[in-house]
Amino acid sequence: MKKTERIHSFFTIIRPLNFLIVFASVIISGWICTTARFPVGVILLAAFSASLTAAAGNVINDIFDFESDKINHPERVLPSGKLNLRQVFILYYVLICTSLILSYLVNTICFAIVIISNVLLFFYSYKFKSIVLFGNFIVAFLTGLVFTYGGYAVGNVHFAIVPAAFAFLINFIREIVKDMHDLEGDKLDGIKTFPQVFGLSKTKAFVFLLTFVLILSSFIPVLNNFYNIRYLIIISVLLNPILLFFIWSIYKNHSRKNLNKLSFLLKLNMIIGLTAIYLGK
């Protein structure tokens, strides 16, 4: 394999879009939570350490999912043979060590959060994701934790609660959608997910319920005067209509192709939600 192709594979396996989302989330959270001068250097260290932790989580998950991904995601780096396990393990350790060093330079609370996050991500891939809903909860919890991480980086976590709750809910929904997509491969791998145990009909009903909770809760910050009119406009014109389309689409078509598109749509909607929070401060 050419050097450029190998480098591209390394970037692919860390999920560049996820990396950027986490990076932006920490910066936005830090900005929202800053009450004095914005500490640019500290926030950049925090953003890189959080993004590298998320990247390490994606890498170790791909390592444990090597066999099931031959069915669920044969195009991914490991099952396609673009990188071997030794190369990916080395990348994993580099990401872990770098994230720990950078978080230590932020403060002791952030250092502790990165340690806990790396441990949870490892055990999620190793065991937790095979426990019904618990694995989904862990991923959603860690996504919300990104925002509290930004708050702790600047020494004020209070204003990070709303974006953390939003991130938790939308990612909890997305994790269940991904389980619906991976139903066949997970069955082969012996992973007991919500769709495996309760079937697609009950899973869709659960997804509908969570999505409506997310839509209704998106108006709570407005009612409590947390954010301005720009936030209300964005969630009313973009975020919530996309969530309604998501509900309609998953009801009409739960094919693997459509579920993959809807999973990406939820990720896009998270960016829209973050934009609404950023502009609405």
pLDDT reported for residue 73: 77
DSSP letters for 38-71: --HHHHHHHHHHHHHHHHHHHHHHHHHTTTTHHH
CATH number at 108 reads 1.10.600
pLDDT digits 0-9 by tens, 206-264: 999 999 999 999 998 888 888 889 999 999 999 999 999 999 999 888 888 898 899 98
Sign of the CA dihedral with 17 first, then 157, 159, and 32 last? negative
- What pLDDT band is residue 1 in, cutting at 50, 70 and 90? low
pLDDT digits 0-9 by tens, 21-49: 899 889 988 988 887 788 889 999 999 99
| Mean of pLDDT values over 111-136 | 90
Cα angle: 103, vertex 113, 148; to 5 degrees: 100
Tokens at 159, concatenated: 């204003």
- In total, how many domains does the chain have? 1
pTM of the model: 0.83
- Please tell me the distance from the alpha carbon of residue 62 to that of residue 200, in angstroms, as a whole number: 25
Q: Which helix (H) or strand (E) holds 161?
A: helix 161-181
- Please tell me the distance from the alpha carbon of residue 107 to that of residue 116, in angstroms, as a whole number: 15
The whole domain housing 56 covers 3-280
